């Protein structure tokens, strides 16, 4: 079965990350990997080095990083953006939407975010 590792940015619900982890999802927060307050480029590099898909709400900063990586031909596991319609405090919506993304990705047999970004809604 296709497995994923996720790096949760500071802009994403920590309770949701913990609930996903309790359900067997390989997820860590930037705080847990020693990157609290780090520049987004540092998170991107950590995710690349550790085969992690970044989960964030920060489209404004990560979309240009993704575009730059693509121009440079840099491979990376991907960036997932939570849709603004998912309220930060709605832990259940965060959990359900990422679980649906994982199920669809496994059904397709590939990581649809690899080398790009995708929306989780």
CA atoms within 13 A on the CB side of 20: 29
Residue-averaged pLDDT of the chain: 96
- CA dist 20 and 109 (Å) reads 21
Q: What angle do CA 68, 101, 54 make, to 5 degrees?
A: 35
Q: Are strands 117-120 and 79-82 parallel, antiparallel or unpaired?
A: parallel
- Dump pLDDT digits (tens) for 1-35: 799 999 999 989 999 999 999 999 999 999 999 99
Q: Which residues pair with residue 28 across a beta bridge?
A: 7
Chain segment 107-119, per-residue pLDDT in tens: 999 999 999 999 9
- In the chain, the number of structural domains is 1
The residue-averaged pLDDT of 63-88 equals 96
Q: By the 8 A CB rule, do 95 and 16 touch?
A: yes
Structural domain harbouring 78:
5-120
What CATH number does residue 26 fall under?
A: 3.40.50
Q: Are 120 and 55 in contact (CB under 8 A)?
A: yes
């Amino acid at each position: 079965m296709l497995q994923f590792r996720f790096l949760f940015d500071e802009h994403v619900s920590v309770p949701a990350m913990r609930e996903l982890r309790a359900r067997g999802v390989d997820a860590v927060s930037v705080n847990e990997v020693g990157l609290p307050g780090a520049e987004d480029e540092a998170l991107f590099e950590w995710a690349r080095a550790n085969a992690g898909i970044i989960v964030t709400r920060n489209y404004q900063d990560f979309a240009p990083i993704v575009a730059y990586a693509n121009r440079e031909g840099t491979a990376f596991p991907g960036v997932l953006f939570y849709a603004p319609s998912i309220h930060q405090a709605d832990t259940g919506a965060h959990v359900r939407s990422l679980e649906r993304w994982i199920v669809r990705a496994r059904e397709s047999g590939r990581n649809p975010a690899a080398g790009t970004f995708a929306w989780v809604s």
